[in-house]
Structure 1
Amino acid sequence: MRFEQHDIEFQCAANETVLHAALRSGVAITASCRNGTCRTCMCHLQSGQVNYQVEWPGLSFDEKADGYILPCVATPLSELIIDKLVLSSA
């Protein structure tokens, strides 16, 4: 997995959320609810595919079609390149 904007790479297991893998790797993505509703962690998927742990995450149909994902409930189906990501300052 790669966060293009910040030049950061790390591994994410197929059964692990993108948020959990980032935190495990020392990358602090801005997040709040961790269940797909608050949208705090929303970012743009430049390439790759994800699966969601919830039936319909807090994204509109258009946002999903435009490539936006919620890392707190997204697991990778392929290698991911993410841009437009906000990292926590804490």
Structure 2
Amino acid sequence: MQNVAPPASQLSAPVFQAKREQDGRVFDAPADLPLLVSAEHAGWVPLSSCRNGTCRTCICRLESGSVIYRIAWPGLSAEEKKEGWILPCVAYPQSDVVLHLLG
């Protein structure tokens, strides 16, 4: 499930767990950080470029869990969103997540 987030001032910051499907690696994913930043803080550097949801370099599949976006239109089509594709540079976790990362 993917939605648009409320303003940052209204967000609390629980910490969820993000798991890489490919190798089972788990890292902390605070609700107030994009998944890409959380992955980098954990020492893993996924492919990325623009960091604003337009270039799609970081695209990956959300296998389970939910995310929200603080921007109204990340660079994904409605069909891609329905299929589970997310842009971790602008996706904020709302639960524990399992990601199939491409980079």
Same fold (TM over 0.5): yes
Larger Rg: 2
Question: Which of residues 26, 29, 37 is equivalent to 1:9?
Answer: 26
Q: Which runs of 5+ in 1 are unaligned?
A: none
Question: Which of residues 17, 36, 39 is equivalent to 2:56?
Answer: 39
For these two proteins, the number of residue pairs brought into alignment is 86
- Structure 1 residue runs of 4 or more that deviate by more than 6 Å after TM superposition: none
**What amino acid maps onto 1:86 in structure 2?**
L
C-alpha displacement of 1:7: 2.2
The CA deviation string for residues 8-33 of structure 1, in whole angstroms up to 9 with x for no partner, is 11001010100000001111110000
Q: Percent identity?
A: 47
Aligned match of 2:102: 86
More strand by share: 2
TM-score w.r.t. length of structure 2:
0.81
Q: Which runs of 5+ in 2 are unaligned?
A: 1-17
Aligned match of 1:29: 46
SS of 1:6's partner is coil
C-alpha displacement of 1:53: 1.9
C-alpha displacement of 1:54: 1.0
